[in-house]
Amino acid sequence: MSRDPFDRAVDAILKRDSRYPREAYTLMPVVLEHTLRKRREAGEESSDGHLTGQQLCKGFEDYMDSLYGPFALGLLHEMNLRSTEDVGNLVYNLIEEGVFGKTARDSRQDFREVFDFDEAFRLPFLPDLPPETLAQMEAQLEARLGSPRP
């Protein structure tokens, strides 16, 4: 049975860059479609259907939050995704394999510090407690787990 072009492209990526698992790459076309659909619904679609790195990152944030809620950060950490720069690495690996496209205006820098994963995927789900109480709870959790939260 032959594999589809996307799977072959991801196979090639994984041979040269093992930082992220296959699942991280399979997430990206879904995020792209989600972002394009949301922008179209909001009347914000560009004439060429192109997304900037910042727009794709915001779509990524919206998709992960709406689908996984408080579990998003843990899932992302399982895939070694810890920042929007990691999202950019996925995108540029897919570009190099011809799966995604880019314009002359696009750059890896477009994915730099678009949002903070901790602020987006952890803070909204914390209980409304005084900061010192939350810090104590986190310290207790880190002590039990044996390592600080990434």
Report DSSP letters for 100-112, one per residue: S---TT--GGGGT
Q: Report whether pLDDT(53) > 90.
A: yes
Dihedral sign for Cα atoms in the order 84, 86, 92, 97: negative
pLDDT of 24-46, one tens digit each? Answer: 999 999 999 999 999 999 988 77
pLDDT of residue 90: 98
Give alpha helix (H) positions in 22-123.
22-41, 53-68, 72-78, 84-96, 117-121
pLDDT on residue 107: 95
The reported pLDDT for the residue numbered 52 is 94
Largest CA distance in the chain: 57
Establish if 20 belongs to a structural domain. Answer: yes
Q: Is residue 51 in some structural domain?
A: yes
Please give the pLDDT value at position 135.
84
Report how many domains make up the chain. 1
Torsion sign over Cα 56, 113, 126, 150: positive
Q: Given a cut of 70, is residue 83 above it in pLDDT?
A: yes
Q: Which domain holds residue 56?
A: 5-145
Half-sphere exposure of 91 (CA within 13 A, CB side): 25
Q: Is residue 69 part of a domain?
A: yes
* pTM of the complete model beyond 0.85: no
